[in-house]
Amino acid sequence: MAPFVAQVPVRWTDQDVYRHVNHAVAVTLLEEARIQLVFDAAGAEGVAGFADGLLVTGLSVDYKRQISYRSRMLRVTMTVDAVRAATFRIRYAMHDGPEADGAVAVTAETALAAFDLTTQRPRRLTADERAFLGRWTA
């Protein structure tokens, strides 16, 4: 199965004193890519439940190489696995540039839980959410 591909911009203020993208900003860029998947793409397909509540329950990031500031997009590929009753995991590869063959600079995974903001409790994934996530299952 092909991964979901997002493009995220690198901003001038994303770099640190060493003139590369700051490690904490890399996590924000991954979040921006994730939003394109679970909010934008899912919402465009009528799967709106993620926008009603999604909780990060775990995060792991491995930095493979520095990303120097350049006024261009970064390619982030995402796959989904470990889909359970209320949880799933997204795995990321952030490339140093917009091309598919760009070197992978960051790999990461985020564990997520569907969450009911009213009751402040996890909720089960709906059939539509599971089907949507299944499109990106590795």
Locate tokens 């470990």: which residue?
Answer: 82
Give tens-digit pLDDT for 12-55. Answer: 888 888 888 889 999 999 999 999 999 999 999 999 999 989 99
pTM over 0.85: yes
Tell me the C-alpha distance between 14 and 60, whole Å.
20
Q: What is the dihedral of CA 54, 106, 26, 2, to 10 degrees?
A: -40
Q: Are 116 and 123 in contact (CB under 8 A)?
A: yes
Tell me the C-alpha distance between 48 and 112, whole Å.
16
Q: Are 40 and 97 in contact (CB under 8 A)?
A: no
Give tens-digit pLDDT for 2-18. Answer: 999 999 999 888 888 88
